[in-house]
Amino acid sequence: MKHYLRLFIILFIFSGCAEVENTQESTWGTIQEKILNTSCINCHVSGSTMTKQSGLDLSKKNSYSQLVGVSPKNIAAKKDGLVIVSTEGGMKGLSKSYLWEKINAYDREHFLSDHPEYGQMMPPGQNFLTDGQLQFVRAWIEAGAPEEGVVATEELLLDSNKYSPPEFTPLKPPKKGIQLHLKPFEVMPNFEREFFQYTNLDVSEDIYANRIQIEMRPGSHHFILYSFIKNINPSDLPEFDVPRELRYENGVYNIQTLRSMQYHEFFNGTQWPRMDYKLPPGVAFRLDSNFGLDQNSHYVNRTDSIMIGEVYTNIHTVDKSEVLHEAKVINWSNQNIFLPPKKITTLNKSFYTNKSIYVGQLFSHAHEKMKEFSVIIKGGTRDGELVYWTDDWQHPPIMSYDPPIKLNSGEGLQIITTYDNPLNEAVTFGFRSTDEMMILFGWYYE
């Protein structure tokens, strides 16, 4: 009896082990489950604009066959002889894999400067994969990217460090164009400083910009450049080079500054400490020579010591004769925000066009209670198609659409935003980072 029991136990342990062997996830399976499903498929999902543009639907069971040994859709990468994931293994396999170029944050400077036509890093924004996830994918590609079997230890995934881009480097002035510079300024401890400063562009005729770079010292919440509406009374224009605070140090709004804001015409802006907007050839923003640019900086200092802010802007210009389409700014905002205490709230608002437009770029702006921000097409044959998605309020991806999204008259875009308000009081629309916003920025042409 005892003997049988022992045999039974041995058999039991043995079959138990065999079971463990069988169910151990292949390295590829882990990549799908712990990397693609968590960081990629919100965009690379069936039917989205991002999936159409990239040719990659990573939300299905067949993502292996879409990635491994397949030519990229990106023309420049294809010309360079890359495949999305190469099976050659080793360093060679790695250097031939477009996927590795797209995710390897540590080579970001090289990616951005040497391969401007390779699109964005994935995931877009500054939502880099963790070092562990990168090492895991790297080990898999170096092992020849097999579909079966374990070629990397899952322990790698425990490393949750992330690449952080180098802090602030002053911009060299553009070869052709204008540089603006908000010289170093102080932000008091535990204070949100937001101010405007009107800058003369010294131009005699309208200028056309097809690239705008912005570089800021860390700690910025946003930076926006405004022009002014045509029918402003010249006496209402602010003085040049004098900072105009939005709030006094006691937190009270400066009415004078609020007044000047009603004449603003949004020109450009970013929430990133570093931004490089490049419009496609033939497309440019026009800057009205009647006005300068009102620079609007917002820094949030949650520390006990003084913080220094500083902002450079390069406006690269092209000749008017090179411009086929004048880019217009999208600045679609829902100010009707009410977030009840201790609740998750989803708001939506649709914006329609009354003529045909081509949308070339979109990005979101919201504050820290935002959990998710999606944009879908309303109306027409692409009704319901997801064109934008992010869960990162701080570094929302700036998405470029190639080809641009065509919206016909009567069609539009709907913004759907989910917020989590953990506080005991309601939160509404406002300018402080503790208030909320729901804005879709971008550009289009007609």
Q: Which residues bind ligand HEC (CB under 6 A)?
A: 39-40, 42-44, 50, 53-56, 72-74, 84, 98-99, 102-103, 119-120, 122-124, 129, 389-390, 397, 399
- Select 54 or 297, whichever has its Cβ closest to ligand HEC: 54
Cβ atoms within 10 Å, residue 391: 13
Rounded CA separation 103/100 (Å): 5
CB of 67 to ligand HEC, least distance (A): 7
Task: Give the gyration radius of the chain's Cα atoms.
Answer: 25
Cβ proximity of 386 and 49 under 8 Å? yes
Cβ proximity of 132 and 156 under 8 Å? yes
Token pair for 357: 């437009």
- Select 124 or 360, whichever has its Cβ closest to ligand HEC: 124
CB of 390 to ligand HEC, least distance (A): 6
CA dihedral (373, 416, 365, 418) positive or negative: negative
- Select 171 or 375, whichever has its Cβ closest to ligand HEC: 375
Rounded CA separation 431/420 (Å): 18
Cβ atoms within 10 Å, residue 11: 10
Which residues, other chains included, contact 180 with Cβ-Cβ below 8 Å and sequence gap of 6+?
Answer: 199, 225, 293, 295, 311, 312, 313, 315
- Select 24 or 161, whichever has its Cβ closest to ligand HEC: 161
CB of 217 to ligand HEC, least distance (A): 27
- Select 101 or 310, whichever has its Cβ closest to ligand HEC: 101
CB of 178 to ligand HEC, least distance (A): 28
CB of 15 to ligand HEC, least distance (A): 38
Which residues, other chains included, contact 172 with Cβ-Cβ below 8 Å and sequence gap of 6+?
Answer: none
- Select 28 or 291, whichever has its Cβ closest to ligand HEC: 28
CB of 162 to ligand HEC, least distance (A): 13
CB of 149 to ligand HEC, least distance (A): 21
- Select 184 or 281, whichever has its Cβ closest to ligand HEC: 281
For the stretch 114-142, what's the b/e string if a residue is b when 16 or more beta carbons lie within 10 angstroms of its beta carbon? ebeebbebbbbbbbbbbbbbbbbbbebbb
Rounded CA separation 116/359 (Å): 20
Cβ proximity of 272 and 228 under 8 Å? no
Cβ proximity of 264 and 230 under 8 Å? no
CB of 159 to ligand HEC, least distance (A): 16
The residue sitting closest to ligand HEC, measured at its beta carbon, is 119
Planar angle of CA 401, 388, 300, nearest 5 degrees:
110
- Select 164 or 289, whichever has its Cβ closest to ligand HEC: 164
